[in-house]
Amino acid sequence: MWAKITSYEGFIVDKETGAGIYEFGPTLFPGNRIEEQLPQGIEQAGEPRSYVMNLTLIPKEGPAIKPAQPYEFKAIPPPPPGLLVKVAQALQNPAILISIFVIVLCTIGLVIYLNRPAKKEALLSPLPRPPIDHTMISGPSADAPQPKAPQPPPRRPSPSRRVCALKFWKPPARRRKRKK
- From residue 15, alpha-carbon distances to 20, 28, 71 in Å are 9, 27, 11
Claim to verify: residue 13 and residue 63 sit in the same structural domain: yes
Task: Tell whether the torsion through CA atoms of 154, 158, 162 and 165 is positive or negative.
Answer: negative
Claim to verify: residue 15 and residue 68 sit in the same structural domain: yes
Domain extent for 105: 83-116
Domain membership flag for residue 164: no
* Cα angle value 47/52/57 (rounded, 5°): 135
Measured distance CA(35)–CA(68) in Å, rounded: 21
* Assessment of whether the complete model's pTM goes beyond 0.85: no
pLDDT of residue 39: 79
Claim to verify: residue 67 and residue 11 sit in the same structural domain: yes
For the chain, the straight-line distance linking the first and the last C-alpha, in angstroms and rounded, comes to 160
Claim to verify: residue 10 and residue 48 sit in the same structural domain: yes
Claim to verify: residue 46 and residue 67 sit in the same structural domain: yes
Of 26, 53, 75, at which residue does a domain stop? 75
Domain membership flag for residue 133: no
**Number of domains present in the structure of the chain:** 2
pLDDT of residue 156: 67
Domain membership flag for residue 125: no
Domain membership flag for residue 42: yes
- From residue 134, alpha-carbon distances to 5, 12, 125, 137, 140 in Å are 113, 100, 23, 10, 18
Across the 180 residues of the chain, what is the mean pLDDT of every consecutive 10-residue run? 74 85 79 76 79 84 81 81 92 94 96 74 68 64 67 67 53 68
Q: How far is CA 37 from the centre of its chain?
A: 39
Give the residue among 11, 17, 81, 23 at the shortest CA–CA distance from 49: 17
Residue 24 parent element (H or E)? strand 20-28
Claim to verify: residue 70 and residue 10 sit in the same structural domain: yes
pLDDT of residue 1: 46
Of 92, 116, 140, at which residue does a domain stop? 116
Domain membership flag for residue 60: yes
Domain membership flag for residue 147: no
Which is it for strands 20-28 and 49-59: parallel, antiparallel or unpaired? unpaired
Residue 76 class from Cβ within 10 Å (0-12 exposed, 13-18 middle, 19+ buried)? exposed
Domain membership flag for residue 30: yes
pLDDT of residue 152: 75
Measured distance CA(35)–CA(140) in Å, rounded: 108
pLDDT of residue 84: 94
Measured distance CA(55)–CA(136) in Å, rounded: 109
